[in-house]
Every structure is written in structure tokens, then in C-alpha cells.
Amino acid sequence: MKQPPLSGKKVFGRGRETLWRRLHLIPGIPVFILAVIAFATIFGSYITPYGPNVGNLYNQFIPPCWMEGGSTEHLLGTDYFGRDMLSRLIVGARISLSVSLITVSIAGTLGTLLGLISGYAGGKTDTVIMRVVDSWLAFPIILLAILFAVVFRASYSSVIIILVLCVWPRYTRLVRGEALAIKEQDYVALARVAGASPFRIMLKHIFPNVLPTVLVLVTFQIAEVIMLESLLSFLGVGIPPPTASWGSMTADGRDYIATLWWLSAIPGLAIFLTVLSTNLLGDWIRDRLDPKLRVV
């Protein structure tokens, strides 16, 4: 029995749904936001209208240019010391993004290496590494970060060390789980029979298969590290003043939030957009790398 032809309305509906699903996979806005932040990070010292730490008390608490009393000389207004908010926001992007990228690079490398060793070696090696990881993950990450921040002297490098110590176990646990499944595959057994060393098997056969998963985790970890760095700076145990960071800028305006809302809202909005864009990009990468989630 022949099926009745689809009506034009249904065909159009299916086409529109497919087009929407395709467009939904293209992270245009998140990529644009991250590209702007990356541009500010790289060329920030050339595009800032004023020095980020140069203040003028005569220009104290100028509102953004679209508000009454605002000025085009300070597009996003000024803070308590008369420092230009736009200049500090641009420089703060460099601090926050560089801290997150360096932290994720070091923690990802260390955690992935330990995860490969733990998953492939098994036995006592796996037990020791995973007990350390489980013990580390038992502590709340925020309290752990604050604890290390109190022990170490506040500086740019100490913040990176603190965040690396808090983040690396996540990579180890994830990669270890992937390696346990991959090492049972036939091609790994054939490589072992052919006389390949454990290091070569981990590097040539296991690591390429766990790399997509690690890349997805990296995108989410960048967002998490940005939030942790901002939190530490907000609590006064992160990037020390007068260096501009989004967390410290948010903290500087908390005493004036009822009247001078832009002091905290502008850097807070920058944190929100960056974290949201990174998470959306991570979702897109996961969908593209996982065939079961890919929409054709």
C-alpha cells in the first residue's frame, strides 16, 4: 500500500527543523565572544585607553557613558581611585585567561600522564594513584583552593600552582577510565605481542583515543579555572592588587553595589559571558567528536 505524499507544510517543517539543528551546532556567538577576549588578551597593552593602574581622584566614580553623568572619555566609567574601568577590564581579561590556559595546560598534562599510567599499568600502581586521586577529590575544591592560598604567598605564580593542585585529579580519573577500556582492545594486544614497549603503547595507541575526551574536559576546565581564579581574587587570596583581574574588580565594587552597581556588574558580566561561551563551545566540541551525538 502506497504511503500518502507528505504535505508541503510537513516537508517545510522538517526542513526548518533540520536547518535549525544544523545552525544550533554552529557556536558562532560563543566563538565571537572568545575571539574578542583573546584579542584583548593578546593586544591589550596596545588598545587600552589608559593605564590600568593610573588613577585620578578628580575622576572618581564616573558612571558608564550611557548613564547620566557619564563621559565618552571613560566608556565604562571609573572606580574608587579614578581608574578607567575599560582599561582594567581589558587587562583583567589577560590575567584571567592566561591563568586559566597555563593552569589547564599543566594540570591536563600531569593528570593525563598519571591517568595513562594508572589505567595501563593496573595493579599496585593503579591502586596507589587512584587512592591519592580519591583522597584529593574528597576535599571541596573551593576550600582546598583557599587553604593553599593561605599557605602560599599571594602572587600570579602561586595562584597557578594552587589551581593546578586543585584541578589535576579530574584528568587522571577520566583518562584512567578511558585507558582501562582501550587497553583491552585487540590492536593494543597485537602491539604488546609485537614487542612494543608500554610507553610506546600508551603514546601511540591509547593516548590518541583518549585525546578527544581530554579536549572536551579542557574546555570545561578553562571555564571552571576562570571562576576559581575570580573567586580567589574576590576573597583577597588571589592575584594581589593593584594588578587588575576580574575577580578583584568585582570585589572592589561590592561595598557600592547598591548605588554604583557597574563597579561589580561589568567584570561580573565579563566572567559570566566567558564561562558561558566556553561551556557552549565545549558542548559543541563534544557533539562533534562523539559520533553518537552528532547530528547529520
Please provide the DSSP assignment of 159-173 as one string.
HHHHHHHHHHHHHHH
Percent of the chain surpassing pLDDT 90: 14
CA torsion, ordered 109, 111, 112, 115, to nearest 10 deg:
160
Task: Flag whether pLDDT at 137 surpasses 50.
Answer: yes
Contact between residue 185 and residue 175 where contact means Cβ atoms under 8 Å apart:
no
Do residues 33 and 275 lie in contact, with contact meaning Cβ atoms separated by under 8 Å?
A: no
With a pLDDT cut of 70, the percent of the chain lying above it is 89
Q: Is the Cβ–Cβ distance between 166 and 199 less than 8 Å? A: no
pLDDT tens-digit series, residues 32-48 = 888 888 888 888 778 88
Residue range 192-218: average pLDDT? 87
Please give the pLDDT value at position 173: 92
Q: At what angle do helices 156-182 and 123-137 cross, to 10 degrees?
A: 140
DSSP 3-state of 154: coil
Residue 294 has pLDDT above 60, yes or no: no
pLDDT of 9 above 50: no
Q: Is the pLDDT of residue 252 over 50?
A: yes
DSSP label of 194: T
Residue 259: band (very low, low, confident or very high) from pLDDT cuts 50, 70, 90: confident
Averaged over 241-251, what is the pLDDT?
84
* pLDDT band (50, 70, 90) for residue 8: very low
CATH architecture of 29-289: Orthogonal Bundle (1.10)
Q: Round the average pLDDT of the chain to a whole number and report it.
A: 82
**Integer Cα distance of 70 and 63 in angstroms:** 5
- pLDDT confidence tier of residue 288, bands split at 50, 70 and 90: confident
Lowest mean pLDDT among 3-7, 32-36, 127-131, 228-232: 3-7
Over residues 82-92, the pLDDT tens digits come to 888 888 999 88
- Short-list 249, 267, 265, CA closest to 257: 265
Count how many Cα atoms sit within 13 Å of the Cα of residue 42 in the half-sphere of its side chain.
6
**pTM of structure:** 0.80
